[in-house]
Structure 1
Amino acid sequence: MASRTDVTTGRVLYGCMGLGGTWDTTPYAAADIAAAEAAVEAALEAGITVFDQADIYRHGKSESVFGEVLSRASGLRERIVLQTKCGIRLTDGVRPGLYDLRGPTIVQRVEESLTRLRTDVIDVLLLHRPDPLTGPEEIAKALASLHGQGLVRRFGVSNMSAAQIAHLRAHLDVPLVANQLEMSLESRDWIEAGVLVNTPAAADSGFPHGTLEYCTTHGIQLQAWGALARGRFTGGGETPTARLVADLAARKRTTPETILLWWLQRHPARVAPVIGTSRPDRILACRDAVHREPELTHEEWYDLWITARGGPLP
């Protein structure tokens, strides 16, 4: 059983963005709760015990239906690590969406998440996106307050570079335990940036070089959102990459989904994939990534990368 105070126990996380019905303010229905229960049950059956939320998912409905699931399953809260995020404000009327990490906003959003999730503590709170208008001193004060009150156990960030994390850490008395980034066989900037140094193509990579190295050096878990590449390589397609993924899955006696997750986990940074599908069958298809060490050879890992990028390495 995973300790809910230790996020690093999660080799694979379940991302709850797909739970809660439609992505608007329409109230969720009984069918949405049932779908969430089925997804959570499948994740637990697969051995996944870290659940990743955010206050904006389905306009808060994802947290609310998850809270319903927790309230109906006795003892479930004690068996899981519950992670959520704050820092993004969705479009509201004529006001566009924006980022907001002001201290009072962080505290308010956490309190609202606690209510929706029907729990008294969040195990891990991630800052969803950088807010260029809020200084690290103000953020640090809010996090210290939440930690001191026992409302949040641990903290992390999402979509931040090494420089941004270092700037924030300089003002924190609590450690940062995770950085969640888009990482997959489709979204490869995180790996491309490391080999395109001193090439003309380096300018085309938007990933901040050195972020992986900084996080691994400082014990910050790298979590990969979008890890299954939105089904692009596992939906029975006839692209070269999909065929290679299927062939490797057959040879390793596993699933195409597992091959994609193994590709992330095989990296020395020990990337922890976040799977976001709400389909129980696809969740269960990821179980080997929880229970088996990545079984990709050096050459197979590179075959996947080179095939996906559609050309040779520099």
Structure 2
Amino acid sequence: MKKIRLGKSDLKVGEISLGCMRMSELSNKDAANVIQNAIEAGVDLFDHADIYGGGKSEEVFAEAIEMNDDFREKIKLQTKCGIRKGFFDFSKEHILESVDGSLRRLKTDYVDSLLLHRPDALMEPEEVAEAFATLKESGKVRYFGVSNQNPMQMELLKKYLDDDLIVNQLQLSLVHTPMIDAGFNVNMQNDPAVVRDGNVLEYCRLNDISVQAWSPFQHGMIEGPFIGNDAFPEVNAKLQELAEKKGVTDSAIATAWILRHPAKIQPVVGTMNPQRLNDIAKASDIELTRQEWYELYRSAGNDLP
């Protein structure tokens, strides 16, 4: 699998990562198979969050692989914090407590990257900066990033940070493309012309912040997969056509569509099925032509000006 560099860090990882939200549902044996298979496929960044499975996903991950120093050196661990029951919390106290909990559950001394999970309207950026500095100095976190934030939210945070943000995790799939749509419809009066995210994609590219695409096979707000869904006949027909042409699965084509973007976007795939992950990983060996990329975009119901 091809490698990419996350932001301005020294983290070089497979261009596809594994989201571990559903790992809490697996036995240790099945989880071990998922993890080992991922590594063999070239997937070495594992994305966690303190809320996944109420913390159980991190526990199962560590228990399944019998976490030790040798194995820890082979992988990159990322976790997220800031979502609590009924509210968001970027307080210094919660960030530090959350990281300590994740480290305990993951049975490791450090994570490679920590992301703030959802924007907190009550964020005090100075307080976040203090928490990040404490975590960096203690060696508990190597790098920092955000999730679901717009450019001005990141700018506000960066004003007080000593380190660069390396990642912004954002929803993106072939049928969820608002960060791309507005770029085609500049100065127009149609709905896709509305800039809802402050041009976050261009901002991240300008500032060397890697975009990680969550829910790359979902439509809506995690309403379900669009692949194989009768509600999306045109996009599925085009996916199947290209899958047959290139000898891969439709999921691999949907992933290759994201990888084709020059922003070097890293899909975070959440499958716990080893064979499906192997099929998806083949996207790293596919390069869609410009025409194929646009055909897929249009098949998802997008009109070009």
Same fold (TM over 0.5): yes
Counterpart position of 1:286: 280
Q: Classify the secondary structure of the residue corresponding to 1:224.
A: strand
Counterpart position of 1:298: 290
Shift of 1:32: 2.3
Determine if contact 2:181/2:192 at 8 Å carries over to the other structure: no
Counterpart position of 2:304: 313
Distance in 1, matches of 2:162 and 2:78, equals 20
Q: Does 1:105 align with 2:94?
A: yes
Task: Evaluate the alpha carbon distance shift between residue 168 and residue 129 of structure 1 in structure 2; reply closer, same or farther with a 3 A threshold.
Answer: same
Determine if contact 2:34/2:272 at 8 Å carries over to the other structure: yes
Q: Classify the secondary structure of the residue corresponding to 1:270.
A: coil
Pairing 1:226-305 to 2, within 5 Å after superposition:
226-229=215-218, 230-234=224-228, 239-290=233-284, 292=285, 294-305=286-297
Counterpart position of 1:131: 120
Counterpart position of 1:10: 14
Counterpart position of 2:221: none
Determine if contact 1:185/1:308 at 8 Å carries over to the other structure: yes
* Gap runs ≥5 in structure 1: 22-30, 91-96
Shift of 1:235: 6.6
Equivalent position amino acid for 2:295 in 1: D
Counterpart position of 1:54: 49
Task: Evaluate the alpha carbon distance shift between residue 138 and residue 72 of structure 1 in structure 2; reply closer, same or farther with a 3 A threshold.
Answer: closer
Pairing 1:16-31 to 2, within 5 Å after superposition:
16-21=20-25
Distance in 1, matches of 2:97 and 2:198, equals 34
Distance in 1, matches of 2:93 and 2:252, equals 41
Deviations for 1:106-140, whole angstroms, at most 9, x for unmatched residues?
00000000000000001100010111112111101
> Among the aligned pairs, what percent are the same residue?
40
**RMSD of equivalent CA atoms:** 2.3
Counterpart position of 2:176: 187
Determine if contact 1:19/1:35 at 8 Å carries over to the other structure: no
Distance in 2, matches of 1:194 and 1:204, equals 8
Counterpart position of 1:40: 35
Q: Does 1:169 align with 2:169?
A: no
* Gap runs ≥5 in structure 2: 219-223
TM-score of the aligned structures, taking structure 1 as reference length: 0.88
Counterpart position of 1:154: 143
Shift of 1:202: 3.9
Distance in 1, matches of 2:193 and 2:289, equals 29
Q: Classify the secondary structure of the residue corresponding to 2:90.
A: coil
Deviations for 1:13-68, whole angstroms, at most 9, x for unmatched residues?
100011102xxxxxxxxx52222212212211211000000000011110110111
TM-score of the aligned structures, taking structure 2 as reference length: 0.90
Q: Does 1:64 align with 2:53?
A: no
Shift of 1:253: 1.9
Q: Classify the secondary structure of the residue corresponding to 1:273.
A: strand
